Structure 1
Amino acid sequence: MAQVTLKQLLEAGVHFGHQTSRWNPKMRTYIFTARNGIHIIDLQKTVRLLDDAWDFTRGVAASGRPVLFVGTKKQAQETIQTEAARCGMYFVNRRWMGGMLTNFSTVKKRIERLQELRKMQQEGQFESMSKKEAKKLTDELDRLMFHFDGIADMKRLPGAMYVVDPRKEHIAVTEANRLKIPVVAITDSNCDPDREDRRRVPGRAPGGAGARRDPARGRGSRVPGDAALRGDRGVPRGRGGLSPDCV
């Protein structure tokens, strides 16, 4: 049974692609028609591929491996964080730093520093320092939080990555491909659907022309989160374990 309906996708505006002049010909098979200079995506195929994404993501979660949610476009940032938190997974919604996956050993050292500073702040150690030193450490903590807050508890590489707009997040997708980490991606009409190790879901990424509202807030993009919640509920993971929605 479909985890999301065609009607729900229509209401979310997922069928609106980019302008026809900006399309990628490799997306031809996922395009239904063109209207007023905008490509219209074939939502019947989107529904089928969302079901595939559901099954795959549920399997990853059931194996106890984490899913990393990635979406740094302004329109997607809030929803990426909300959906990751809802299912107890990790997220990057500000800026993807090169090497976040391929140089994870170094990233873990920065995360350890983040946790160290956070503990110092919580224990009130900053208050006993000079204003200059406290400000220096506070600024460092803020920088680390900006880059790593969503993966602060991630102890190992993810089992899969969910991406809103793989064209925007091409560095993240390239790193995942290099490490053979499967990618589930909302793939707009201007994207290349043939990237290695990707499970594509055709649909408008945030910022697509003609859309009524951000599909990242629509039911379709809740599928990876819902699937993760249906995975192994006995394995604590993410930022403080599973969401209450799992209970």
Structure 2
Amino acid sequence: MSFPQFTIRELMEAGVHFGHRASRWNPKMSPFIFGKRNDIHILDLQQTVPMLYTALGMIRKTVAGGGRVLFVGTKPQAQDIIVEAAERSGQYYVNHRWLGGMLTNWKTIGSSIKRLKDLEANFADEASMAHYTKKERLNLEREHAKLHRALGGIKDMKGLPDIIFVIDAKKERLAIQEANLLGIPVVGVIDTNVDPEGIDFPIPGNDDAARALRLYARFVSDAILDGIAAQVKSAPAAARPAKSGQRKTVVKLSPKATAAAKEEKSEDAAPKASEAKAEKASATAN
């Protein structure tokens, strides 16, 4: 998987340049606004392009160093998109209501995650479930559904993320504030109605159109997969015996990251295998 490449035309076709009505704007976004058309603010894509590349580069660098990415998008049109992107790249997500303290009170959240996993283990054990009455099972199923809805996307995340990607910086203000308090870098899409403060790597763009959201998510997941590939590539060198006087560094990949890397590797290998077969057939014919 290679690092994402794109053009202004591609961003325009996805509607990235369309902001909100001028009456809803945040004055702090004025440096990123190109103009106004039919009372709709138009974002300056000449600025969006380099800022998007910078944000994606930071995500790739973080992942290549063994970091974890948390996707955050709780608005209806973003929920399915971020789940798909996070699962594709072996990362984590929050796509329903952000729970206060999800980052700053991770220890408590961790106990809720443990409860979720315990429930899943119970459901997988038919002998264990046989001891419950029908009403008790129903209550357990409701508890599981509630916990899975809130924490299902982070249940395998061992500790805090190393960087977060936010779809709507206005709606996800609480997540941004918690990340700021903990010094976790924030990559966020900023529309014309947003206060960009607290966003370490802002991406000026439309945060409502599904086509634009899908584009951002694909770029981010591609950058992550490129970072994972770089990490995997560096792992053999790191695993070699260290020279005298040098410390040995071992690169550890999470199961989700390893699976994502293997999937991408198999997809890249398929065309090469087909080419090899074609060359062999041609040589035989000659």
Q: TM-score, normalised by structure 1?
A: 0.92
Q: Which residue identity does 1:193 align to in structure 2? A: P
Instruction: Tell me how far apart the structure 2 counterparts of residues 137 and 240 of structure 1 sit (CA, whole Å).
Output: 31
The answer to whether the aligner puts 1:112 opposite 2:109 as a matched pair is no
1:142 to 136, 142, 145: 145
1:155 to 154, 158, 162: 158
The answer to whether the aligner puts 1:53 opposite 2:49 as a matched pair is no
Q: What corresponds to 2:214 in structure 1?
A: 217
Q: What corresponds to 2:40 in structure 1?
A: 38
The answer to whether the 8 Å contact 1:160/1:184 transfers is yes
1:1-247 correspondence to structure 2 within 5 Å: 3-124=5-126, 125-195=128-198, 198-206=200-208, 213-218=210-215, 220-233=216-229, 234=232, 235-237=252-254, 239=256, 241-243=258-260, 244-247=262-265
Q: What corresponds to 2:268 in structure 1?
A: none
Instruction: For residues 27-50 of structure 1, give each alpha carbon's deviation from its aligned partner in whole angstroms, at most 9, with x where no partner exists.
Output: 111111100000011112111111
Instruction: Tell me how far apart the structure 1 counterparts of residues 263 and 219 of structure 2 sit (CA, whole Å).
Output: 14
Q: How far is the alpha carbon of 1:2 from its aligned partner? A: 6.8
The answer to whether the 8 Å contact 1:161/1:183 transfers is yes
Instruction: For residues 134-184 of structure 1, give each alpha carbon's deviation from its aligned partner in whole angstroms, at most 9, with x where no partner exists.
Output: 111111111110100000101110000000011000000000000010000
Q: Which segments of 5 or more consecutive residues in structure 1 lack a partner in the other structure?
A: none
Q: How far is the alpha carbon of 1:237 from its aligned partner? A: 3.1
Which structure's relative contact order is higher, taking Cα pairs within 8 Å and 6+ residues apart? 1
Q: Which segments of 5 or more consecutive residues in structure 2 lack a partner in the other structure?
A: 233-251, 266-286
The answer to whether the 8 Å contact 2:35/2:43 transfers is yes
Instruction: Tell me how far apart the structure 1 counterparts of residues 196 and 264 of structure 2 sit (CA, whole Å).
Output: 32
Instruction: Tell me how far apart the structure 2 counterparts of residues 77 and 99 of structure 1 sit (CA, whole Å).
Output: 20
Q: TM-score, normalised by structure 2?
A: 0.80
The answer to whether the 8 Å contact 1:236/1:242 transfers is no
The answer to whether the 8 Å contact 2:89/2:257 transfers is no
Task: Give identity over the alignment, percent.
Answer: 43
Q: How far is the alpha carbon of 1:238 from its aligned partner? A: 6.8
Instruction: For residues 182-220 of structure 1, give each alpha carbon's deviation from its aligned partner in whole angstroms, at most 9, with x where no partner exists.
Output: 00001001111232x5210000112xxxx5x541112x3
Instruction: Tell me how far apart the structure 2 counterparts of residues 12 and 51 of structure 1 sit (CA, whole Å).
Output: 17
Does the C-alpha gap of structure 1 residues 19 and 245 become closer, same or farther in structure 2, counting only changes over 3 Å? farther
Equivalent position SS for 2:165: strand
Moved segments of 4+, more than 4 Å = 238-241
Stretch moving more, 2-11 or 232-241: 232-241
Q: How far is the alpha carbon of 1:5 from its aligned partner? A: 1.5
RMSD, aligned CA: 1.7
In terms of fraction of residues, the more helix-rich structure is 2
Does the C-alpha gap of structure 1 residues 237 and 11 become closer, same or farther in structure 2, counting only changes over 3 Å? farther
The answer to whether the 8 Å contact 2:51/2:203 transfers is yes
- Matched residue pairs, number? 240
Instruction: Tell me how far apart the structure 2 counterparts of residues 162 and 86 of structure 1 sit (CA, whole Å).
Output: 15
Q: How far is the alpha carbon of 1:77 from its aligned partner? A: 0.4
